[in-house]
């Protein structure tokens, strides 16, 4: 494990036998600025790992880029106050970004900070084209195996995970202090690797907010499985986008909130 993503911190632990002094592992959290063609656009609070994937995934899921190849270069630079990720993007996409005239704020919190009107909350997402059903057994197998793929969580208990599942197996999982960041890292990796988003589903260790569903829709992902609850807005957005949204996923049961016809038993 990369030592920079967590730190050992002195703690006083109180239990039934009294007070003891020990050490605890804490997940690191740093400001990460995404800089497009030399112009800083947004600062995310994130775990300092897989930041190129984070930057690309964020750019795609937020509609800044339409395709991964529109990012010509991604360079991560450490600074005194945090980390900068510099993206050299196509001029057409950069002009469109400037035209948005919007300061998107980091999504590790509520996800709405920084938008300039209530109309901006109404997410316009594309319709996801479906071709492959999801097997209930694959959902159960992946959930049962989730903890084994989250080393940082097992050390610190403070991070979320987002995994790509195909054939019931967790192919790749990314962790971050922000659930949106973990998903963006996964999406950025998938875009770089040419993942066929029709052949599996996303599994997240958190609740399913509307933003998580919107990000999946932007990449054409047909199924999102969460170990916790979805929000009502997330369920409506999933239905609108054609996404199967699964919540409270456990090794033996789950709840399907939209498009249940795509789950086979």
What is the set of active-site residues?
A: 110
Stretch (H or E) spanning 141: helix 136-145
Q: Are 23 and 9 in contact (CB under 8 A)?
A: yes
Cα 151 to Cα 45, 83, 147, 174, distances in angstroms: 20, 23, 8, 10
Tokens of 216: 């999946």
Q: Are 39 and 58 in contact (CB under 8 A)?
A: no
Q: Would strands 134-135 and 263-264 be described as parallel, antiparallel, or unpaired?
A: parallel
Cα 264 to Cα 134, 149, 256, 259, 261, distances in angstroms: 6, 25, 12, 11, 7
């Amino acid at each position: 494990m990369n030592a920079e993503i967590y730190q050992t911190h002195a703690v006083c632990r109180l239990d039934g036998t009294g007070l003891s002094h020990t050490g605890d592992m804490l997940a690191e959290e740093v400001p990460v600025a995404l800089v497009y063609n030399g112009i800083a656009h947004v600062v995310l609070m994130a775990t300092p790992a897989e930041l190129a994937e984070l930057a690309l995934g964020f750019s795609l899921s937020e509609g800044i880029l339409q395709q991964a190849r529109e990012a010509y270069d991604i360079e991560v630079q450490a600074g005194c106050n945090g980390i900068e990720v510099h993206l050299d993007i196509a001029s057409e996409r950069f002009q469109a970004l400037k035209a948005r005239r919007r300061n998107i704020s980091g999504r590790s919190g509520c996800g709405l900070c920084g938008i300039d009107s209530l109309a901006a909350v109404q997410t316009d997402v594309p319709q996801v084209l479906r071709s492959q059903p999801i097997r209930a057994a694959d959902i159960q197998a992946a959930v049962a195996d989730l903890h084994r793929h989250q080393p940082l969580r097992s050390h610190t208990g403070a991070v979320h995970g987002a995994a790509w599942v195909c054939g019931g197996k967790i192919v790749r999982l990314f962790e971050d202090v922000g659930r949106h960041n973990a998903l963006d890292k996964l999406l950025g990796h998938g875009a770089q690797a040419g993942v066929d988003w029709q052949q599996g589903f996303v599994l997240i260790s958190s609740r399913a907010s509307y933003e998580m569903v919107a990000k999946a829709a932007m990449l054409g992902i047909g199924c999102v499985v969460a170990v916790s609850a979805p929000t009502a807005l997330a369920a409506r957005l999933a239905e609108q986008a054609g996404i199967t949204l699964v919540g409270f996923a456990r090794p033996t049961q789950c709840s399907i909130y939209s498009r249940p016809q795509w789950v086979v038993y």
